[in-house]
Amino acid sequence: MKQLDRMAEVIPTDVLIIGGGISGLLASVKAKDFAEKVLVVDKGGIGWAGQVPFSGGDCAVFRPEDAERHFRWLTSVGHGLNNRDWARAFVTDMYRCIREAAEKGLPFWMDEGELVAVPFGKSYNAFHFSPAKFMIRLQQIAVRKDVKTLDKVFVTDLIRDGTNVVGAVGFGLVDGKTYVMKARATIIANGSCRYHAQRNFSVNTGEGVAMAFRAGAELMNAEFSNTYTFGFKGDIRRRVPLYLFFENVNGERFIERYFPEMATAEGSGQELLDFYQIADAVTKETEAGRGPIYIDFRKLSKEEEALALQADVLPVEFQPVGRDNLLDAIRKRLGVDPDRQRIEVELQFCGGQGPIRIDSECKTTLKGLWAVGDAGSLGSGYMGARASGTFGGFGIAFAIVSGLKGGLNAGKYAVASNETKTDYSEVESLKRRMLAPLGKKGDILVNDVIYQLHEAVIPVKYNLHRERSRLNEALSIIEKAKNGLAKTEVKDYHSLSRYHQAESMVLSAEWTLRSALMREESRGTHHRADYPNRDDVKWLKWIVIKRREEESVFSTESVPV
């Protein structure tokens, strides 16, 4: 211990949670019901961390009396690849977990003590919450329970004792101090990988997934990671259900051309609500020479306009940040008058969910390590052959369910565990790896590497419409980006954090595209132009990624039925 004290600031805790977003803070509150010491560490500001402050304020919900029906629906849209244990747990526990979160004081829309559910499509409803207030309130709840927090510390690697995870190592973004956090149980809750491709979700760069992999945790379902949403050109907001009224350059509505069932949509009009399919239709229309794509509010009937602006019927405090009145927002933010001209819309790449493999208690394949929220969304297999981001409100729901589950199980584990042993040489090696790039001279910036990575992960031809030669082309771009890291300049702790983010993003991109190349079929949100059909004989399997020395090894595992 004395040797460690000379190397770093050592912080012992029972439960360590890496990531201060919704799933991490909920896990901390739940873990505190069992463990005496709980620490949350985040590279940003806890209370503002994660994606929730920029979300639409929608949380999908399945009521317990409808659990069996929703289980059948979930396994149907998962195209046979669901982890049925997780899918069952998700539909069974969702309402109870959301109710528990609301009862802790989180700002959900309530009426006389009851959560208000709003139709969110043919298959499910949604509860609404205030995105602007949610994380601040959750941080206050955690602090009242005496959860300790540590801001602006960038965690790079997990510490192991043999095959057990016993904490993590990181550095201060402000002071550069090395931190060693010793823990009986560790939870990864710092999200997936968004590749710095969106302003609102730029915080997620995959370092949690990367550190889990380096420690020996298995990954799964990476090929279903990257997804697209849509919004007004130049704006960061997704607009649902505006896709019902998309028109091509000729002024023709076209969604029904690809999905005739939309012609009979009733209620909320979000009968499809599968962003992958909408993105596919927009892409095909554009490739046919009928782009750009627009929405023309002047053509909408009163009923259609009411549907398009449905978010405005929510109480003001439950409307997403910046939405206010949609038409006014278009005027102010885009400088376009919807009373005089149509508005161009575009696809928006939003990255993907995390492939850390977890069981229905959120435990990874390593002893002492759990993953919650987006970090393990794909790896849980609860959605099968798709990222949860393809259906509105599911990311928040999974964060709540997994956060409470992971916190409960990690907290119980920590209480029953003996004090952990931390090997000095292990920590010294991790610290050396962490700080090695610092002070390195180079002729390119880390951001140049990230922008090059964008060339491989953002284009539709590599993610939406895949094909062997195109995937190999994208992988060669990723290899160039990886080689570019060796030529970057790292002059301070800020650029050191960017270096490690880029390092993690390269790994995430490689896992996604190599898995996509391996899966020679089309299923769910994975489409191969050269293998256009689903193949249950050969591919009713999960693709699992394991570490062997310094390499990623890909294998398959039959889906339990």
Task: Answer yes or no: is pLDDT of 311 > 60.
Answer: no
CB 50 within 8 A of CB 26: no
Q: What pLDDT is recorded for position 213?
A: 98
Q: Tell me which CATH code domain 2-52+133-225+351-428 carries.
A: 3.50.50.60
β-strands 58-61, 125-128: how paired? antiparallel
Burial class (CB in 10 A: 0-12, 13-18, 19+), 544: buried
Query: Cβ of 539: how many Cβ atoms within 10 Å?
Result: 22
The answer, yes or no, to whether residue 142 has pLDDT greater than 50, is yes
Report whether pLDDT(9) > 80.
Answer: yes
CA distance 215 to 123: 39
pLDDT in tens, 89-139: 999 999 999 999 999 999 998 888 889 888 776 678 889 888 878 899 999
More confident: 231 or 379: 379
Give me 193's structure tokens.
Answer: 């990988």
Residue 322 pLDDT greater than 60, yes or no? no
pLDDT at 320: 52
From the number of C-beta atoms within 10 Å of its C-beta (0-12, 13-18, 19+), residue 553 rates as exposed
Q: Which of 116-130, 162-176, 308-322, 400-414 has the lowest mean pLDDT?
A: 308-322
- 210 pLDDT exceeds 60? yes
Question: Average pLDDT of the chain?
Answer: 90
Structure tokens at 336: 């376009």
Summary count for the chain: helices (H), strands (E):
18, 18
pLDDT tops 70 at residue 263: no
> Is 77 a residue whose pLDDT tops 70?
yes
- As its CATH architecture, domain 434-556 has Up-down Bundle (1.20)
Residue 237: band (very low, low, confident or very high) from pLDDT cuts 50, 70, 90:
low
Q: Which range among 74-78, 118-122, 237-241 shows the weakest confidence by mean pLDDT?
A: 237-241
pLDDT of residue 332: 84
CA–CA separation, 142 and 50 (whole Å): 16
Domain ranges of the chain: 2-52+133-225+351-428, 240-347, 434-556
What pLDDT shows up at residue 268?
45
**pLDDT given at position 267:** 43
Cβ(557)–Cβ(540) under 8 Å? no
Arithmetic mean of pLDDT, 489-509:
96
Span 341-352, pLDDT tens digits: 999 998 888 877
Residue 400 has pLDDT above 90, yes or no: yes
Q: What is the pLDDT of residue 313?
A: 55
Task: Tell me the per-residue pLDDT of 454-496, one tens digit each, with 9 for 90 and over.
Answer: 999 999 999 888 999 999 999 999 999 999 999 999 999 999 9
Contact 421, 166 (CB under 8 A): yes
249-262 per-position pLDDT tens digit: 999 999 888 887 66
- Domain 240-347, CATH: 3.90.700
Between 363 and 204, name the one with better pLDDT.
Answer: 363
Binned at pLDDT 50, 70 and 90, residue 323 comes out as very low
- Distance (Å, rounded) from C-alpha 223 to C-alpha 456? 14
**Other Cβ atoms closer than 10 A to 23:** 37
Q: What's the 3-state SS for 330-388?
A: HHHHHCCCCCCCCEEEEEEEEEECCCECCCCCCECCCECEEECHHHHHHHHCCCCCCCH
